[in-house]
Structure 1
């Protein structure tokens, strides 16, 4: 009886974890570049020791494209990623190409400084920025009706091992600690990655699928709670019978 209650409680806890993830997916349905997350619950029975194994995975397929016509919005094509520095100074990775300029004249994404390709990117106060398909950043200035274009830096664009990625609460992706490329200095700029300016990649969350999963998990959780209640009632009846017989 106790083992049955334990199994139902374990299953209920796992369902709550799934609900949290699905709820987070739905909450970020409008977040630029967001990648939906799922978990698999694998049931194993080895040497009569029942346990659950959870495995996380991410849907890294591209979301839809939004045409913004804004020169600091970029869509990273294919399996390319933009690189930023988090609050601790570590390199992190994102598909969110909504760039801004902070008070220090640095390019940022969600207040994280954008990493350049072997350079620090400082944006001059005068002129307009143009980001080329290879990540090169040009400053366009008009001097006496003459258009002058100067390169001020280049975005660092990388390919990542998708099986070694982990998503953290700050909205950024990182390499897992056990990854062979966990040393952030080993991630090199990739010259074959291309950008499209004036566009942003939207979230790839499938709202219908996530809503179905949300309802299904809620029903399964309710079933596990009913099973626990039934086990408790049966245990009480058994104790009453034992007391009567004594």
Structure 2
């Protein structure tokens, strides 16, 4: 508890390393007792959030199947693949004829993924040196200049899990535009966010405070730690990118959860 309190006031890299080390210590008994769990990535090197690596990945896969129409033959783009939490569950599903490209700003995360899936020829991972104050403060490429590692109209299903929760709205708009570019007609895009609505503006775990015209942040010093966007602004950005919004399901980060997920889930379709 003391380390967590200290970490709250540390710069992003140090904070995430400390919190990741705490998670690694808590998970050490399971890692030692279960040979399968010894392959779990170390959070100290690339901390993508609290929770059980395998269990959360399984839940995210189920959400893609239940709400975004994931098929074994899909060409999938994982926007912000981290250390392979979802990829670990997608790999056997897509062996039937699908394909996967995941990219991330974390060099350590991509290295872990490439090792983990070295014998899976349909699984590909790319490192993009995109600048983000929370995960890659020294990145050379601005979020608004990002180009996804996929050809025009080559992707059936794209998804971004807890990515827009660490990005300001100009970067979100760029990512939506790039998603629209790479999707095939009728391709789907599932993404999660903290979507602020009247009456759902903050919670005990996420005490968001106004940050700019479209967004709120938990920590004004380091906004990318956790950013919420007004739902109307996200929906407008989806439309501006040329995508059609399908489902919207509220998560359990605050009151009114409607599906098995912490963050709010959007599913958009390319006409």
TM-score bracket, normalised by the shorter chain, equals: under 0.3
Q: Return the structure number with greater strand share.
A: 1
TM-score (norm 2): 0.22
Q: Larger relative contact order (C-alpha < 8 A, sep ≥ 6)? A: 1
Q: Return the structure number with greater helix share.
A: 2
Q: Which has the larger radius of gyration?
A: 1
